[in-house]
């Protein structure tokens, strides 16, 4: 049973393809592990929600929504330019 101090996952997190995966895979500097994470993301039904979460919360590290850090920075630059 979860402690009351542990927040419940949001609805999209419950459907994440990575929910049973090793979180280290998504924060590894190793290219082959990053590819493994990106492949999971490619088949994930909540990829868009995950990416928006990462952008809104300024997640600087790791793979979120099928993107690496650099790609998220680029998306944010494009959004600022378009605003
Ligand atoms: S898009 Fe990737 S990081 Fe995000 S929930 Fe899905 S598998 Fe996990």
- Residue 25 belongs to some domain of the structure: yes
Specify if 3 maps to a domain: no
Segments in the chain below pLDDT 50:
1-4
Q: How many angstroms is it from 48 CA to the middle of ligand 1?
A: 9
In tens, the pLDDT along 26-44 reads 999 999 999 999 999 999 9
- Full-prediction pTM beyond 0.75? yes
pLDDT value at residue 22: 97
In a domain, 31, yes or no: yes
Number of domains in the chain: 1
Pairwise CA distance, residues 74 & 83, whole Å: 14
Ligand 1: centre distance to CA 68 (Å): 12
Does 77 reside within a domain?
yes
Q: Is residue 40 part of a domain?
A: yes
Closest alpha carbon to 29 in 65, 56, 69, 59: 69
**Domain housing 19:** 14-82
Kindly list the protein residues whose Cβ atom lies closer than 6 A to any atom of ligand 1.
16-18, 26, 40-41, 44, 46-47, 50, 63-66
Residue 2 lies in a domain: no
Give the residue, out of 14, 28, 33, 40, with the most ligand 1 atoms within 8 A of its beta carbon, to mutate for a pocket test: 40
> Could you give the C-alpha distances from 79 to 13, 17, 20, 26, 38, in angstroms and in order?
25, 27, 32, 24, 23
């Amino acid at each position: 049973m979860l402690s009351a101090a542990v927040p419940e996952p949001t609805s999209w997190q419950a459907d994440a393809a990575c929910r049973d995966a090793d979180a280290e895979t998504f924060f590894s500097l190793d290219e082959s592990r990053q590819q493994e994470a990106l492949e999971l993301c490619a088949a994930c039904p909540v990829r868009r929600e995950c990416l928006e979460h990462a952008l809104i919360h300024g997640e600087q590290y790791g793979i979120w929504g099928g993107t690496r850090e650099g790609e998220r920075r680029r998306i944010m630059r494009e959004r600022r330019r378009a605003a």
